[in-house]
C-alpha cells in the first residue's frame, strides 16, 4: 500500500472517530434537512418536481470541509424515498495534498436509478467512485431543473456554501449508516 493512501485511510478513521462526539439526534437531522430542502426549492427552479420524480435522495444539511495539506469532510443526513425518511447516514472523507481552506455547505445526492438507490440502501459502508460515480450538477438559475436529463445514476447538488476551499470532488468519499 502506498504511503499517501495509508495516511488518507488513517485520517478518515481519526476524522470519523473525532466527529462521533458531535453526532446529531434524528430529530435535529430531520429539522435541518427540511430547512435545507426549503432553501433548495426556493433557490433552484423545478427542484421540487425533480426530487418528486427521483427514486430517492439523501440530504446532508451541513457538511464541513477543511484542509491545510491534510484535509477532511464530515456531515450527517437523511435518506428519503418518496418523501419519507428511511435511514440516516454520515459522509466522511480525508485527503492529502496541496489544499488550504475551510467551508460548510449543504449537499443533496439524488438517485435517478433504482439500482444505485438499492445499492446505497443495502450497503452499510458505501464509497463514491468505487460503487457509483456521482455527477456534480451545475445549472443556470433560469433553467427548470425538472426538465434537464442528466443521464447519470446519481446527481449531487452543493448549495448554501460558506467559506472557500479549492476543488470539490466526491472521489473517495465514504457514506455510512448511522443510528442517531
| pLDDT tens per residue, range 146-164 | 555 666 788 888 888 775 6
Average pLDDT in the chain: 79
Domain span at residue 88 reads 3-178
Predicted local confidence at residue 161, as pLDDT: 79
**Average pLDDT, stretch 11-15?**
51
Higher pLDDT, 22 or 156: 156
Per-residue pLDDT at 9 exceeds 60: no
pLDDT band at 130 (very low <50, low <70, confident <90, very high): very low
Sign of CA dihedral 32, 158, 149, 151: negative
Query: How many domains does the chain fold into?
Result: 1
Model pLDDT for residues 31-43, shown as the tens digit of each residue: 999 999 999 999 8
Residue ranges of the alpha helices (H) in the chain? 3-19, 26-43, 47-53, 114-122
Q: Is the pTM of this model over 0.85?
A: no
35-62 burial code (b ≥16 CB/10 A, e <16): ebbeebeeebbebeebbeebbbbbbbbb
Confidence bin at 60 (pLDDT 50/70/90) = very high
Amino acid at each position: 500500500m502506498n504511503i499517501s493512501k495509508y495516511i488518507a485511510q488513517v485520517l478518515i478513521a481519526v476524522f470519523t472517530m473525532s466527529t462521533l462526539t458531535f453526532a446529531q439526534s434524528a430529530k435535529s437531522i430531520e429539522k435541518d434537512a427540511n430547512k435545507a430542502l426549503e432553501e433548495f426549492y426556493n433557490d433552484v427552479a423545478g427542484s421540487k418536481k425533480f426530487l418528486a420524480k427521483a427514486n430517492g435522495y439523501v440530504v446532508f444539511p451541513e457538511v464541513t470541509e477543511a484542509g491545510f495539506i491534510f484535509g477532511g469532510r464530515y456531515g450527517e443526513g437523511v435518506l428519503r424515498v418518496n418523501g419519507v425518511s428511511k435511514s440516516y447516514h454520515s459522509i466522511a472523507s480525508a485527503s492529502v495534498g496541496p489544499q488550504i481552506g475551510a467551508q460548510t455547505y449543504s449537499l443533496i445526492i439524488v438517485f435517478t436509478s433504482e439500482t444505485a438507490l438499492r445499492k446505497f440502501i443495502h450497503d452499510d459502508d458505501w464509497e463514491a467512485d468505487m460503487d457509483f460515480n456521482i455527477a456534480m450538477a451545475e445549472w443556470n438559475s433560469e433553467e427548470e431543473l425538472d426538465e434537464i436529463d442528466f443521464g447519470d445514476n446519481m446527481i449531487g447538488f452543493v448549495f448554501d456554501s460558506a467559506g472557500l476551499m479549492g476543488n470539490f470532488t466526491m472521489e473517495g468519499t465514504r457514506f455510512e449508516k448511522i443510528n442517531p
